[in-house]
Amino acid sequence: MSATLTMTQPDDWHLHLRDGAMLAAVLPDSARHFARALIMPNLMPPVTTAAAARAYRDRILAARPAGSMFTPLMTLYLTEDTQPAEVAAAQAEGLIAAVKLYPAGATTNSASGVRDFQRIRPVLERMAEIGLPLCVHGEVTDPEIDIFDREAVFIERVLDPLRRATPGLRLVLEHVTTREGVQYVRDSGAGLAATITAHHLLLNRNHLLAGGIRPHFYCLPVAKRERHRKALLAAALSGDARFFLGTDSAPHPNAAKQSACGCAGCFTAGNAMPLLAEIFSREHALSRLEAFSALNGAAFYGLAPNTSRLRLTRVDGENLPPRLDTAEGPVTRFDPGFASAWSATVLPSAKEPRA
């Protein structure tokens, strides 16, 4: 089994960078390994206008570590009042790479999301015309639906009807967590893709709940049964171009997670690539990591792969500190408790031979 992989530098197709002091603290973790990231718009207030997206992009660029070329790809937060013309103009100026749909109340800062899916029909039709992808948080919010079933029910009740009503709309089922989700994508054409997180490739619901509740493993969509984790792993390893990495790295201060009503989100940006190297290597599929994390997503979004490269090497004992100190308090980095670790180094040019 090879203990080194030199590959195209990866991109993160689903990232929460937050704002202000938290943005400044967490951005280096992403910029260390990823060339580009699709930035989620669920700030408070959410990024619903082109002006807000422009200003947020500028704050991200200003927060980059010295010398970093990290490129944020912006999204707009879809509301029932989003205007088709605004979305089209934001795409035409090269400001946004996608629009994000949160069902109202599905997750952190989603109160301004969509309740009545009929009201977003005009904007979705325009997006289908101009080829702008819709990124979907795929969970129903109906309190009657068990939290472990919310993704599968969303596919049946919302996603499938929405796709039938708007043929041609390019869609990403974000952070897919179920066998049903994987199967739905496999059964669809190239216009539907799914992102998969590193933590959902590692966790099932026992890791979260058996033997004690582990708040740093709690995220939305919540980790499911082992058979679902296995389906995600098979999809990530398959090389199928419709599955690609979106870390959904979602930092919250420890005080907000280690609480009687803790926030959802795993802070994985800094160790997603080392963890993925370990996961793929254990499956004897290290060479497939490039398609999953560096090629498939760029292709879906119509972008060239990065020319810079990332070298991953197995180095026992080399880990990021378990906590990141921020002005909002310490944030715990995701740690599944592996014995072996990988170091990752960006190589600026494509001169290195492919491993």
Q: Which stretch binds Zn ion (CB under 5 A): 89-97, 204-212, 245-253, 327-335?
A: 245-253
Which one, 78 or 220, has the nearer CB to ligand NCD? 220
137 is a contact residue toward ligand NCD (CB under 6 A):
yes
Look at the alpha carbons of 341, 31, 101, 326 in this order and tell me if their dihedral is positive or negative. positive
Q: What is the DSSP letter of 295?
A: I
- In angstroms, what is the minimal distance from the CB of 290 to ligand NCD? 25
Which residues neighbour 307 within 8 Å (Cβ) at sequence distance 6 or greater? 349, 350
Q: Rule CB under 6 A: is residue 220 a binding residue for ligand NCD?
A: yes
The answer to the question of residue 23 lying near ligand NCD (CB under 6 A) is no
Catalytic residue among 12, 248, 316, 325: 248
Side chain identity at residue 315, one-letter code: V
Give the residue with the Cβ less far from ligand NCD, 177 or 281. 177
240 binds Zn ion (CB under 5 A): no
Nearer to Zn ion, 11 or 248 (CB): 248
Q: Are 137 and 107 in contact (CB under 8 A)?
A: yes
Q: Give me the sheet containing 4-8, strands edge to edge.
A: 4-8, 309-314, 342-347
12 contributes a contact to Zn ion by CB under 5 A: no
- Cα angle 240, 335, 210; round to 5: 95
DSSP state of 333: B
State both tokens at 108. 């952190």
Q: Which is nearer to ligand NCD, 16 or 163 (CB)?
A: 16
Instruction: Kindly report the backbone phi and psi dihedral angles of residue 13, in degrees, each rounded to the nearest multiple of 5, phi listed first.
Output: -90, 20
- Asked whether position 235 contacts ligand NCD by CB under 6 A, the answer is no
User: Across the strands, what pairs with 136?
Assistant: 101, 173
CB of 89 to ligand NCD, least distance (A): 26
The site that binds ligand NCD (CB under 6 A) totals a number of residues, namely 11
Query: Do residues 215 and 143 make contact, with C-beta atoms less than 8 angstroms apart?
Result: no
Q: Which is nearer to ligand NCD, 14 or 314 (CB)?
A: 14
Q: How far apart are CA 208 and CA 223, in angstroms?
A: 8
Q: Please report the DSSP string for 144-166 in residue order.
A: TS-GGGHHHHHIIIIIHHHHHHS
Kind of pairing, strands 331-332 and 323-324?
antiparallel
Does 285 bind ligand NCD (CB under 6 A)? Our answer is no
Q: Does residue 48 bind ligand NCD (CB under 6 A)?
A: no
- CA 54 – CA 239 distance, rounded (Å): 34
Neighbours of 72 (CB within 10 A): 24
What distance in Å separates the CA atoms of residue 171 and residue 128, rounded to the nearest whole number? 10
Q: Could you give the CA distance from residue 210 to residue 223 in angstroms, rounded to a whole number?
A: 13
Closest CB 274 distance from Zn ion, rounded Å? 21
Minimum distance from CB of 351 to ligand NCD (Å)? 37
Cβ closest to Zn ion, residue 252 vs residue 309: 252
Q: Which of 9, 30, 42, 91 binds ligand NCD (CB under 6 A)?
A: 42
- 100 binds ligand NCD per the rule CB under 6 A: no
Look up 248 and say whether it is catalytic.
Answer: yes
Q: Per CB under 5 A, does 139 bind Zn ion?
A: no
At its nearest, how many Å lie between ligand NCD and the CB of residue 148?
A: 15
Question: Could you tell me which stretch among 199-207, 244-252, 278-286, 345-353 binds Zn ion (CB under 5 A)?
Answer: 244-252
Number of residues that bind Zn ion (CB under 5 A): 1
196 is a site residue for ligand NCD (CB under 6 A): no
Token pair of 33 as six digits: 């390994």
Q: Is 257 in the site for ligand NCD (CB under 6 A)?
A: no
Quote the CA–CA distance of 87 and 156 in Å, as a whole number: 27
Check binding of 248 to ligand NCD (CB under 6 A). yes
* Active-site annotation, residues: 248
Residues in touch with ligand NCD (CB under 6 A)? 16, 42, 107-108, 137, 219-220, 248, 250, 264-265
